[in-house]
A = this chain, B = another copy of it.
Amino acid sequence: MNAEPPKPARRSDALDQAMSPHRRVVISAITPSVDEGRHAVKRCKGDLLAVEADIFTDGHEAIGAELWVRGPARRGWTRITMHALGNDRWRAEIGLDEEGPWQFRIAAWLDIFGGFVRDTGKKRDAGLSLALESEEGRLLIEKAAEDASGLTKKGLEKIIEGLTVLSPADRVALLLAPETGRAMHAADHRPFLAESYVQDVDVERIRAGFANWYELFPRSQGKDGQHGTFRDVITGLPRIRAMGFNVLYLTPIHPIGATNRKGRNNALKAEPRDPGSSYAIGDASGGHDAIHPELGALEDFRALVTAARNHGMELALDIAVQMSPDHPWLKEHPGWFVRRPDGSMKYAENPPKKYEDIVTPDFYADGALWTALRDIFLYWIGQDVRIFRVDNPHTKPIPFWQWLIADIRARHPDVIFLAEAFTRPKRMYQLAKIGFNESYTYFTWRHSKGEFIDYMRELTSHPVSDFFRPHFFTNTPDINPPFLQTGGRAAFLIRAALAATLSGLWGIYSGFELCEAEPLPGREEYKDSEKYELKQRNFSQPGNIIAEIAQLNRIRAQEPALHSHLGITFYNAFNDNILYYGKTAPGRADRLLIAVNLDPHHAQGCDFEIPLWEWGLPDHESLAVEDLLHGHKFTWTGKVQHMHLTQEVPYAIWRIRPPGSGAP
């Protein structure tokens, strides 16, 4: 093997290209990666980035490989040596200690001297004569010294001096010495260097991956039938914070149109005092950058932002890109909206259904619409809002969101976008790929043990786990799941426990803690939906599950294994009604074992296996256990144990540690 860069003869373009030295080493199957670098990998601050790739070449030469990483400050690339795992797989790791856009790429080359050391060592061990090898080694070092400078050159020259005076055996020892290898590594001109594509990594703040959301309608927070205000929301903050929620998500706070306003229970015609849907945005007083006058003024909103922050909570605003017929933009920018042949507005529709209280703009009519919508987000960012729940993003062009999110996060890397993309899986995933930090999911429609195992496997598999952060809401103003309608209080406990332990992000819509579930008959919707009327609740009514939710959120705060949907393993529990899984956090020896009775109508029990085998323990071994719900500590002896889950406490959360890692 000649270590020189090739000097191809002039033959043909195809031959010249084929002979490019950069094509000889193959770098492929890089993880994490999304569509070969076309989209960013998502991580949170503090995560470990573990990069792996298949790296190989022809023949017997040794390979050198580095992970090049740079953080948001773009102060040049940090180079980290990659290590071979076997089967041509290589790996390196780096801690992501700063929020913002990171990048990595992989470089690999032929490590000629490394191969020389490896082969000469084998020959020495076999007792072969090494006179020629010593000379070859010396020539390699001389050549490297020629091309080197400064301290590197001096180091190599010193080795060459040594080689000229030493005995043959000592000469070989010096050639194979680690310090000689390091000196040659420093001088290596890296023949046949290949470089991978650059993979972006969005490193977000921890709340993008781990948060407890509470959704409410601000206008319902008043008393005695009065329209609620931001000040009323402030009054309710301690109640919400006491349950352990740290993101307070407000449905739209803007003026509501009067034209074609919807009445109670989605009636086509509103009664005079009906408040209309918060999603029919805009009237003569303003649009998406205005506040509904009955909620208060901008100072009140800012007071709410501050009060929430003082309670350790953060506001999330709901942005719905749709306009009531009274939205100011319809007059100011008629070109942004489509009209029908008779001059009437083209309302949103899902034939044969029509939504006559809203219109959606024509995104390809004028780029000024895109910047105007971007500026709405910037306006609320100016009011210290950093989390946006985006309504129905899949009904607007995907490239619009890709541009908007990139534009905003370049200015404000701490902004979080949640996609309410209740749509088909490929669109849901595409919105995550192009930038949405988190997404609503199909959680509310998953019920059986098999469904949960399949869904969690999908969400935690590569590459989905690299771009899609699932948010498990138990319910929303639009979704009153039949399971809750028919399952009573146990059903609410079950869904809370599942959401809070399966996902790093979970949330409830106000009323869930009171086990509200009265439906429109035969529908997955709430009767007297809060979307069309004020709804004032008594939050101390009996039968609520406030204490249980607070306990779940306390356990979530304490247990790193619950800060993400990753690190999950499903284990054997011999009852189809009991879902049983382990959760681990990176770098932690302990793990949680969680069991949930999926049947809200009956207590369920079963034998189950504790995963002794994962620590190489025999089936009769004992483990110390802590029951996180009741605080008991005890010991399990033997692989198979028994559990019993009642309707009153339909779930269990245990913490175990491997023997020798300290009591739990």
Tell me whether A164 is interfacial, beta carbon within 8 Å. Answer: no
Cβ-defined partner of A407 (8 Å) among B9, B14, B20: B14
Residue of B nearest to A3 (CB): B364
Residue of B nearest to A132 (CB): B340
Tell me whether A402 is interfacial, beta carbon within 8 Å. Answer: yes
Segment among A119-127, A174-182, A570-578, A619-627 that sits at the interface with chain B: A119-127
Cβ-defined partner of A351 (8 Å) among B1, B122, B364, B397: B122
Alpha-carbon separation in the docked complex, A23 to B24 (Å): 34
Tally A residues with Cβ within 8 Å of B: 78
Q: Using known A-B contacts A24-B398, A132-B341, A340-B132, determine if residue A18 contacts B403 with beta carbons closer than 8 Å.
A: yes
Tell me whether A87 is interfacial, beta carbon within 8 Å. Answer: yes
Tell me whether A395 is interfacial, beta carbon within 8 Å. Answer: yes
Alpha-carbon separation in the docked complex, A52 to B362 (Å): 31
Tell me whether A446 is interfacial, beta carbon within 8 Å. Answer: no
Residues from chain B with a CB closer than 8 A to the CB of A60 are: 349-350, 395
Alpha-carbon separation in the docked complex, A60 to B351 (Å): 9
Residue of B nearest to A25 (CB): B398
Residues from chain B with a CB closer than 8 A to the CB of A10 are: 367
Tell me whether A411 is interfacial, beta carbon within 8 Å. Answer: no
Cβ-defined partner of A424 (8 Å) among B8, B56, B341: B56
Determine if A132 and B342 form an interchain contact, defined as CB atoms under 8 angstroms apart: yes
Determine if B362 and A1 form an interchain contact, defined as CB atoms under 8 angstroms apart: yes
**Shortest CB–CB separation between residue A295 and chain B, in angstroms?**
31
Determine if A368 and B18 form an interchain contact, defined as CB atoms under 8 angstroms apart: no
Determine if B122 and A23 form an interchain contact, defined as CB atoms under 8 angstroms apart: no
Tell me whether A128 is interfacial, beta carbon within 8 Å. Answer: yes
Residue of B nearest to A430 (CB): B26
Determine if B58 and A123 form an interchain contact, defined as CB atoms under 8 angstroms apart: no
Q: Using known A-B contacts A88-B427, A430-B26, determine if residue A58 contacts B367 with beta carbons closer than 8 Å.
A: no
Residues from chain B with a CB closer than 8 A to the CB of A2 are: 338, 362, 364-365
Determine if B352 and A126 form an interchain contact, defined as CB atoms under 8 angstroms apart: yes
**Contacts A/B (CB < 8 Å), 27 sampled:** A2-B362, A4-B364, A6-B364, A9-B366, A10-B367, A11-B368, A11-B370, A15-B403, A16-B367, A18-B399, A18-B400, A18-B402, A19-B364, A19-B367, A56-B430, A57-B397, A57-B398, A58-B395, A59-B396, A60-B350, A87-B425, A87-B426, A118-B351, A122-B351, A128-B352, A132-B342, A135-B342
Mark A residues whose CB is within 8 Å of B. 1-2, 4-11, 14-21, 23-24, 26, 28-29, 35-36, 54, 56-60, 87-88, 118-120, 122-123, 125-126, 128, 132, 135-136, 139, 338, 340-342, 344, 349-352, 362, 364-368, 370-371, 394-400, 402-403, 406-407, 424-427, 430
User: What 8 additional pairs, Cβ within 8 angstroms, besides A18-B370, A18-B403?
Assistant: A4-B364, A7-B366, A11-B368, A16-B367, A26-B430, A28-B35, A88-B427, A132-B342
